């Protein structure tokens, strides 16, 4: 069985491949969810300044009684904090809320295509934080091919990670190929396709997909476990989100089976090309900007 549990980033920092996500987890449910995840063995927690729950993530990490070096903590700078000085200050806000001196992975949450200079200045601040040892790795999120091209043209440090929407119904092969070409790890958000659950029409939910269901039955696992295993065997990091203790445990119980090459290809073939999240090219401060509180 292949060891899909740890990934080495392009600056040699290692990271547990499977992380725990808290997107849209209300602050008052975050501490319990992260505590359950840590008790189940997750050692990689992904949050963001814009989620409003960094403080509760930090509380759960501190309460777990683990050495700080045992938990990989990842967060994201929101677009309203882009700019060199603003992003340095964004780090201070996140570190303070998380209760940590050093953040393991700090990434830009989105490109700001209409104000890309601001995005570049924000990334330059990440490079400074990396050089100063305030963060162990830096990266981006929701960067498309054009955004990566423009960033790589000016950046000194190649991002370690590009966190993008990837699930069986939306795989973004061109972005993944560009990530791979530059040694950038693809990290999948909405890895079991949660973003597809509430939409109508054909291919509405990955959880009900007949092919995924058949593969799950063949292995005695659940559709969510099959999707997570697919990410890991394809070399991606994945950060499933749940607030339900049973599902939190289910989502990390993916290291006792292996999908065949045919099954991996069958899941790859389910891509519909239809994005669930916002169009990255359309992100602007006017439509998505909002102040990130100091505390
Ligand atoms: P809940 O928090 O009630 O468990 P994604 O990370 O792909 O966006 O998926 C998140 C969504 O999937 C949430 O609605 C979450 O709900 C649900 N979910 C998480 N794990 C599982 C699972 N193992 N089986 C079914 N649904 C799940």
Q: In order of start, what are the domains of the chain with their CATH numbers?
A: 12-195+236-241+274-287 (3.20.20.100)
% residues pLDDT > 90 (the chain): 95
The answer to whether 229 and 263 have CB atoms below 8 angstroms apart is no
Reduced to 3 states, what is the DSSP secondary structure of residue 128?
Answer: helix
On whether the pTM is more than 0.85, the answer is yes
Q: What is the pLDDT of residue 223?
A: 98
The atom of ligand 1 lying closest to the CA of 33 is: 2
DSSP H or E run through 230:
helix 223-233
Rounded-to-integer distance, Cα 105 and Cα 80, Å? 19
The answer to whether 178 and 150 have CB atoms below 8 angstroms apart is no
Please give the mean pLDDT across all residues of the chain: 96
**At residue 166, what are phi and psi to the nearest 5 degrees?**
-145, 120
Q: What is the pLDDT of residue 220?
A: 98
Rounded-to-integer distance, Cα 164 and Cα 171, Å? 9
The atom of ligand 1 lying closest to the CA of 192 is: 7
pLDDT tens, position by position, 20-33: 999 999 999 999 99
**Residue ranges lining ligand 1, Cβ < 6 Å:** 21, 190-195, 207, 222, 224, 240-244, 247, 250-251
Instruction: State yes or no: pLDDT of 158 exceeds 80.
Output: yes
Q: What is the pLDDT of residue 69?
A: 96
Q: What is the SS3 assignment for 51-102?
A: HCCHHHHHHHHHHCCCCHHHCEEEEEECHHHCCHHHHHHHHHHHHHHHCCCC
Q: What is the pLDDT of residue 201?
A: 62
Instruction: State yes or no: pLDDT of 74 exceeds 60.
Output: yes
Closest Cα partner for 274 from 181, 180, 206? 206
Give the mean model confidence (pLDDT) for residues 44-62: 98
Instruction: State yes or no: pLDDT of 139 exceeds 50.
Output: yes
**Ligand 1: distance of its center to the CA of 82 in Å?**
31
Q: Strand 14-16 relative to strand 6-8: parallel, antiparallel, unpaired?
A: antiparallel
* Active site residues per annotation: 51
Reduced to 3 states, what is the DSSP secondary structure of residue 34?
Answer: helix
């Amino acid at each position: 069985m292949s060891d899909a549990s740890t990934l080495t980033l392009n600056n040699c920092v290692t990271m547990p491949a499977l992380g725990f996500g808290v997107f849209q987890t209300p602050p008052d449910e975050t501490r319990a969810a992260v505590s359950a995840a840590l008790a189940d063995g997750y050692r990689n927690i992904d949050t963001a300044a814009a989620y409003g729950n960094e403080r509760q993530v930090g509380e759960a990490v501190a309460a777990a009684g683990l050495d700080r070096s045992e938990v990989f903590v990842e967060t994201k700078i929101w677009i309203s904090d882009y700019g060199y000085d603003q992003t340095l200050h964004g780090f201070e806000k996140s570190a303070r809320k998380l209760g940590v001196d050093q953040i393991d992975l700090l990434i830009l949450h989105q490109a700001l295509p209409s104000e890309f200079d601001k995005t570049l200045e924000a990334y330059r601040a990440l490079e400074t934080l990396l050089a100063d040892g305030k963060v162990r790795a830096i990266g981006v999120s929701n960067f498309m091919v054009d955004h990566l091209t423009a960033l790589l043209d000016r950046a000194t440090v190649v991002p370690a990670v590009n966190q993008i929407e990837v699930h069986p119904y939306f795989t973004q092969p061109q972005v993944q190929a560009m990530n791979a070409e530059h040694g950038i790890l693809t990290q999948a958000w909405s890895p079991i396709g949660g973003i597809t659950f509430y939409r109508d029409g054909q291919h509405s939910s990955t959880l009900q997909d007949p092919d995924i269901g058949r593969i799950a039955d063949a292995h005695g696992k659940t559709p969510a476990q099959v999707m997570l295993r697919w990410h890991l065997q394809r070399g991606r990091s994945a950060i499933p989100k749940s607030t339900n203790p049973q599902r939190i445990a289910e989502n990390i119980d993916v290291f006792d089976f292996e999908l065949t090459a045919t099954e991996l290809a069958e899941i790859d073939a389910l891509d519909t090309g239809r994005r669930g999240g916002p169009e990255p090219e359309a992100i602007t401060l006017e439509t998505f900007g909002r102040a990130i509180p100091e505390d």
